[in-house]
A and B are shown apart, each in its own frame.
Chain A
Amino acid sequence: MRLQKVKIVLVGMPNVGKTTFFNQITGAHFKVGNWSGVTVKENSMCFSRGEVTYEVVDLPGILSVYDDLDQVDYAVCRDTMAGADVFLNIVDGRHVQRDLVLSLQLLCYQIPQVTIVTHDEHMATDHQRLASAFSTPLGLASSLTLDQVLSLCNQAKAINPESLIEWPVGLQVAFEAMPDSGVLDKLKILVKQENEQVQESYDVLIAEGFYHTAALLIDRHGCRQVCQDPFKYLDDYVLHPIWGVPIFLVVMYVMFSCTIGLGGALGEFISGIMQLGIASFPGNGFMSALISAVGSGVATGVGFVPILVVMYVILGFLEQSGYLARVVILVDGLMRPIGLSGHAFIPMILGFGCNVPAVLATRTISGDWQRLLTGIMLPFMSCSARLSIFAIFAAAFFPGYGALVIMLLYLFGVFVAIASAYVLNAFFGDGSQSCLSISLPKYQYPNWPQLKKSVCLKVKGFMKRTMGYIVFFSTLVAILGMVDFSLQVVEPQFSVMTTTGKALSHGFAFMGLGPENWQAVAALLSGLVAKEIVITTLNTLYQGAEALSPAGFDVLCYELFNRLLHFPLQVFLLDSMGSDVQQIYQSYFSVQSALAYMVFILLYFPCVSTLLVFKQEFGTAWSLFVFGWSTLLAVGCAMIVYGGFLWILGVGVVILWCVLRLRRRYDSIVC
């Protein structure tokens, strides 16, 4: 007996709800969002029913099947679509006529097709009339299960496009003059040709054929949509010529404030409770020191979780609401001088969560150079792992202004990214300009269960990835802090860690780190693997040197209550706890060296995972370039920051130069 394999491919315009439907029928948890380009690679799952194995494949959105848009995600789509057995054509009920154009194009593949309508509550027609318009089996997404979808797929048949599509006369003549081949092949040839005979080019004639037929079908079957957008008024504010940009800045500020204010308070409480538990562990000696070091590292790691949860919830809310697509227009002017469009800003915002998905998100950007340039900018976007470092330093050195300092660091990261892209574009750029033209999705309420699942998965992934590193590095750091090069247990000042750290620390004097603060240098090196472990390494090393007495439970509860009570009003206060850990930080760093250290961490080499994804997307040479470039900039900027007044002068000159440059460019475009 031989098993039969059926490949079902989900195809549709961008942002019609393909991945949401895929998650619904397969039980998967792939990322969804309310903007074009959330899915950038194919996702698939297999199911068996009797002797048949069904492979369901989710693809990135595609605008048309015959043109030559040069995006990486489009190439992925076309390769997979060619090998499909059945198309699940996903159509958005809010703009059926537009999506029907792609449905008609899919007929040209001569592959059986099933139509699935998402957001069907916006349709003013019955099921049968809709099915007649599409000429395929049809289902409404909200009520379908996997088995119902498979049953629809079994009913599907290939339809001859010639029987449905009404081509303009000029195109019919061209078809007849061509050798006998499939309609799709003919379209792909004609779309690149000039038309000498008639007034319009072939690409326009082809488009006319599809759009005209779609309009006819919709009229004939009475499938007019009744979509009323209840949130339409939001655009009056969000896209306001004056208030648009300030609203965006406020949204970003609220995101960081809530993350630090609310997440930070809960994180410190949880971390404090764990420290209390570790302190109560009896014993004295090697094992006790080891348990204390590892426990302290784990407690610090767990303390990040509330910060991440708050950040992921807010980012998820922005992604699902439809606001991010509006931001693309607001920031386009900022990206245009470097040859990019506002589209490049979406990966940058995703980079605030984690750089790895952000690098993958560059696949939606058209143009090889523009895509690479966006990728090079991403490591400067401060990811959530760096946020945990900034939170501790900001609390210790900038009480009362913590969130403001952190937001300024984020903005500085964006500034360095744009400035470095400007320089690279000037030297290596091909002079081309990305186009903006972006489809703006309708606003929608976030899907809370989906958001909850997505946040849980991200936090789980963070814990899984980070805890392994934390346990390993805390153990390693603790052991290296107790033995010498001949692996004999010695006094801490003669250990491998201390000797090596002191030797290396001379190279970091440019940002105020000397042999007396060698622990900070050792922590930077551990950050090569993952940024999350910088702060745990620091805590482990500092606490090995100082005897700490964690705050009591009553103090922790009081401080948590106090911070939560003041939260909405004083979200910017980060002078929490006054804990021993923060006092230790203050004893090792000056304010200037702490700021230089934060800037260095913001900019220096990306973590191993980011570099590996970067290598996969852009090749080894460019990943090595990013490694060197970011480190070079980190050294330069940390040096300037530690240099004091020189910094103010330098930044002032750069800002002035950029403003003048942007102004000139702006004026030339307006003229």
Chain B
Amino acid sequence: MDKLVSTLALGCEYRIGRILTRENKMRHRFIALGLVPGATLTTCYRLFRGLYWVVSVQHQYVGFHWSELQMLRLYEIAES
């Protein structure tokens, strides 16, 4: 079973569970970038002591501030 995570590790794959924020602007931005529940993201680069992350989602790189990634419920994908 996938494990709910609160911190990210570099080079790991995560599944998006829910979008936690209720703010429409952010929700729609996540959705438009392909960060929808069920999608997977992989952490590729970590900058400034984890303040910024570049993740791969839907075959593209997307840069985030850590506070924005906290608006997603992420599960570490269990190895089968």
* Residues of chain A having any CB pair with chain B under 8 Å: 63-64, 67-70, 94-95, 97-98, 101, 191-192, 200-201, 203-204, 207-208, 211, 225, 227, 235, 239, 241, 244, 325-326, 328-330, 332-333, 336, 341, 366, 435-440, 666, 669-670
Are A235 and B32 interface neighbours, CB within 8 A? no
Query: Chain A residues near B47 (CB, 8 Å)?
Result: 239, 241, 244, 329-330
Chain B min CB distance to A533 (Å): 41
Are A200 and B37 interface neighbours, CB within 8 A? yes
A-B contact pairs, 14 of them (CB 8 A): A97-B58, A98-B58, A98-B60, A200-B37, A204-B31, A208-B36, A227-B59, A235-B54, A329-B47, A329-B52, A336-B65, A436-B64, A436-B68, A437-B68
C-alpha gap A332/B68 in the complex (Å): 13
Q: Assess whether B38 is interfacial by the CB under 8 Å rule.
A: yes
* Residues of chain B having any CB pair with chain A under 8 Å: 18-19, 24-34, 36-39, 44-52, 54, 58-68
Chain B min CB distance to A76 (Å): 17
C-alpha gap A436/B27 in the complex (Å): 13
Chain B min CB distance to A24 (Å): 24
Other-chain contact of B34, A211, A225, A328 (Cβ < 8 Å): A211
The number of A-B residue pairs with CB atoms under 8 Å apart is 119
Chain B min CB distance to A408 (Å): 25
Other-chain contact of B63, A98, A208, A328 (Cβ < 8 Å): A328
Give A64's nearest chain B residue, CB to CB.
Answer: B32
Chain B min CB distance to A254 (Å): 22
C-alpha gap A666/B50 in the complex (Å): 12
Chain B min CB distance to A603 (Å): 30
Are B51 and A69 interface neighbours, CB within 8 A? no
C-alpha gap A330/B47 in the complex (Å): 8
Are B34 and A332 interface neighbours, CB within 8 A? no
Given contacts A97-B59, A98-B58, contact A207 B24 (CB under 8 A): no
Are A67 and B28 interface neighbours, CB within 8 A? yes
Are A437 and B33 interface neighbours, CB within 8 A? yes
Are B37 and A439 interface neighbours, CB within 8 A? no
C-alpha gap A69/B27 in the complex (Å): 10
Are A211 and B39 interface neighbours, CB within 8 A? yes
Given A63-B32, A94-B59, A329-B52, 9 further pairs, Cβ under 8 A: A63-B33, A98-B60, A191-B28, A211-B39, A235-B61, A241-B48, A330-B47, A341-B65, A437-B33
Other-chain contact of B36, A211, A669, A670 (Cβ < 8 Å): A211
Are B31 and A669 interface neighbours, CB within 8 A? no
Chain A min CB distance to B27 (Å): 6
Are B48 and A436 interface neighbours, CB within 8 A? no
Give A433's nearest chain B residue, CB to CB.
Answer: B67
Are A669 and B27 interface neighbours, CB within 8 A? no
Give A98's nearest chain B residue, CB to CB.
Answer: B58
Are B63 and A207 interface neighbours, CB within 8 A? no
Are A329 and B58 interface neighbours, CB within 8 A? no
C-alpha gap A330/B24 in the complex (Å): 26
Are B28 and A669 interface neighbours, CB within 8 A? no
Are A204 and B37 interface neighbours, CB within 8 A? yes
Are A98 and B34 interface neighbours, CB within 8 A? yes
C-alpha gap A330/B27 in the complex (Å): 24
Chain A min CB distance to B70 (Å): 11
Query: Chain B residues near A68 (CB, 8 Å)?
Result: 24-25, 28
Query: Chain A residues near B44 (CB, 8 Å)?
Result: 235
Given contacts A67-B32, A68-B24, A333-B48, contact A436 B37 (CB under 8 A): no
Chain A min CB distance to B58 (Å): 5
C-alpha gap A62/B51 in the complex (Å): 28
Query: Chain A residues near B38 (CB, 8 Å)?
Result: 208
Chain B min CB distance to A125 (Å): 15
Are A435 and B54 interface neighbours, CB within 8 A? no
C-alpha gap A200/B17 in the complex (Å): 11
Give B37's nearest chain A residue, CB to CB.
Answer: A204
Given contacts A67-B32, A98-B34, contact A435 B65 (CB under 8 A): yes
Query: Chain B residues near A191 (CB, 8 Å)?
Result: 28
Query: Chain A residues near B50 (CB, 8 Å)?
Result: 670
Query: Chain B residues near A101 (CB, 8 Å)?
Result: 34
